[in-house]
Structure 1
Amino acid sequence: MLKQRILTASVLGLPALALVAWGPNWVVLLLVSLILGLATWEWAGLAGLRGASARGLLVAGVVIPVLALGASPIGALHYLILGLVLLWWLVVLLILPFYREREVDEKANRGHLFALAAIVALVPAGMSLVWLHALVPLLVVYLVVLVGLADTGAYFAGKTFGRNPLAPHISPGKTREGLFGGLVTVLAFAIVGAAIWGLEPMDALVFLLLSVLIGLVSVVGDLFESILKREAGEKDSGSLLPGHGGILDRFDSMVAAAPVFLAGLLWLALIPAPPAAA
């Protein structure tokens, strides 16, 4: 399984990161839209939308706004969406501890709500990635690697030291020790990143704290997708990525991390904020 994960990440992940690092913004917009389209198709299945037309409609409801937002100048609408999605993830964080699996009939009643949640969560994530790429492409690469390392560090720390469940009603395999291991890995990577970029001491400290926060936020996105899978009775969102599961299984942490990372960078003035177009 581990060999499969490494092989898949090497064959697909490295070329994608190279494209993000050196490709034009419009190509990255198309790449992000493709990934989101596949992830939304899987999300629709988890939400109980079985027909191709219904799933396709949800895909269009995510991809078309992402394309429109990514192709247009940064304006007040972009900032509004970014602000609203921060509130969304805050609400998700607050309700996660109270989640309990429901009966089958109650799950069916909530399917359309989960489908709507795809638009609320995925559109801002795609917008944020394209927006950040237009400002500093290498920060998108940094974010992708950071989220991946948070997951990897948590996996190995959890396997080695895991004793106390983090969210037993949502994802019994995740542990507090794994979370701590992931955050330590993120901190180490952030120190390297701050050194490479030559940040001043105060900016470096803020950058480290923001990176650790993103490590935490990525877990929120992961747990939210775990709820979707638990409600659907599925282990993975799909099977497109050998050793990893589906596209959504690899993108779930990024869904929460991308808008929070962008907002943090802008608010802390670590990157220049473009003026909102009229």
Structure 2
Amino acid sequence: MTKTRLIAALVMAPVAIAAILLLPTPWLIAAAAVVFLAGLWEWFDLAEIEDTLSRTVLLVVHMALMVALVWASRGGGAGDPGQPPSMVLFKIASLVGVIWWLLALLWLQRFNFASDHRTYARMFKLAAAALSVIPAWCALTWIHAEGGNGHWWLLTALAVVWAADSGAYFAGRKFGMLKLAPRVSPNKTVEGLIGGAVAGVAVGVGLSLLAGATAAQLPWVALVSLVAVLFSVVGDLFESLLKRHVGVKDSGHLIPGHGGVLDRIDGVLAALPAFALGKAIFGF
């Protein structure tokens, strides 16, 4: 499995990095929307939305919301077509995402909440999907579009999550003894969390130098990277909770060795709003 995971990562990583660094923001956020909506489609499985028509309608609604956000934020107009797009709505959505993931901690403490497969449970899980996917996509847009080095900052934010995921995986396999959340995700350990945090912060600080961070900003970059890692763990655990409720191991089988799309972006969904907000607060 480790070899399969490695091969899949070696294929996906260059494509993702090239897209982040080379594509202009409109094309990148369109590509990101496809990935996020694919993860959302798998989320519908975890919410037990079985009817294809219902799933399609829900997907179209989320896509329409993304389009509406872009349209409402477009710059200028007939009088001033050169004005850049406004990021206000994307910033508000990112803040909403951070608040949602803090509330998700309460859900994680109540394993049986919305686990009885009734209509209200599906409604809670669909609301959670919208509060996870839309703010994360908005945060991605905000980071990439803002400033001359937005593409490098987005790569830094995502690399923090990727490094933390890999660090947690290998540290957990080698040293893991203390279970982090045994009922939600039995394989996650405290040692893995520590290893992931160290890896995520190290990569965040290193890549931030390429993004233009100054020496004085590095402590704040390290702090924001650590917070992003912790949020990514919440996102990972929350998806694990949803999978436990329906008795599945992976959200899908699209990516060899990695499960589904949602399995790959669960941490990203939670980390991106936290990183974007932290970056704005500390001004790097």
**What TM-score comes out, normalization by structure 2 length?**
0.88
> Which range moves more in the overlay, 261-270 or 78-87?
78-87
- Written as runs of structure 1 = structure 2, the 5 A alignment for 1:68-217 is 68-70=68-70, 72=73, 73-96=85-108, 98-101=109-112, 106-109=116-119, 110-135=121-146, 136-197=150-211, 199-217=213-231
In structure 2, the CA distance between the partners of 1:68 and 1:99, relative to structure 1 (3 Å rule), is: same
Superposed CA RMSD in Å reads 1.8
Q: 1:221 aligns with which of 232, 235, 250?
A: 235
Counterparts of 1:263 and 1:138, CA distance in 2: 16
In structure 2, the CA distance between the partners of 1:174 and 1:196, relative to structure 1 (3 Å rule), is: same
Q: Spell out, residue by residue over 1:228-253, the C-alpha distance to the aligned partner (whole angstroms, 9 max, x if none).
A: 11111110000110110000000000
1:22 matched residue in structure 2: 22
In structure 2, the CA distance between the partners of 1:103 and 1:125, relative to structure 1 (3 Å rule), is: closer
Q: Which amino acid aligns with 1:108?
A: R
Residue 7 of structure 1 pairs with residue 7 of structure 2? yes
In structure 2, the CA distance between the partners of 1:29 and 1:107, relative to structure 1 (3 Å rule), is: same
Counterparts of 1:229 and 1:95, CA distance in 2: 14
Counterparts of 1:33 and 1:196, CA distance in 2: 26
Counterparts of 1:18 and 1:154, CA distance in 2: 25
**What TM-score comes out, normalization by structure 1 length?**
0.90
Contact 1:101 1:169 in 2 (8 A): no
- The unaligned stretches of length 5 or more in structure 2 are 74-84
Counterparts of 1:262 and 1:152, CA distance in 2: 22
In structure 2, the CA distance between the partners of 1:108 and 1:13, relative to structure 1 (3 Å rule), is: farther
Q: 2:253 aligns with which of 216, 227, 239?
A: 239
How many residue pairs get matched?
A: 268
1:59 matched residue in structure 2: 59
Q: Which amino acid aligns with 2:181?
A: A
Kindly state the Cα deviation for residue 194 of structure 1 after the two structures are TM-superposed: 4.1
Kindly state the Cα deviation for residue 127 of structure 1 after the two structures are TM-superposed: 1.2
Q: Which amino acid aligns with 1:126?
A: W
1:267 matched residue in structure 2: 281
Contact 1:147 1:215 in 2 (8 A): yes
Counterparts of 1:31 and 1:67, CA distance in 2: 13
Counterparts of 1:223 and 1:155, CA distance in 2: 14
Counterparts of 1:163 and 1:75, CA distance in 2: 44
Counterparts of 1:244 and 1:85, CA distance in 2: 25
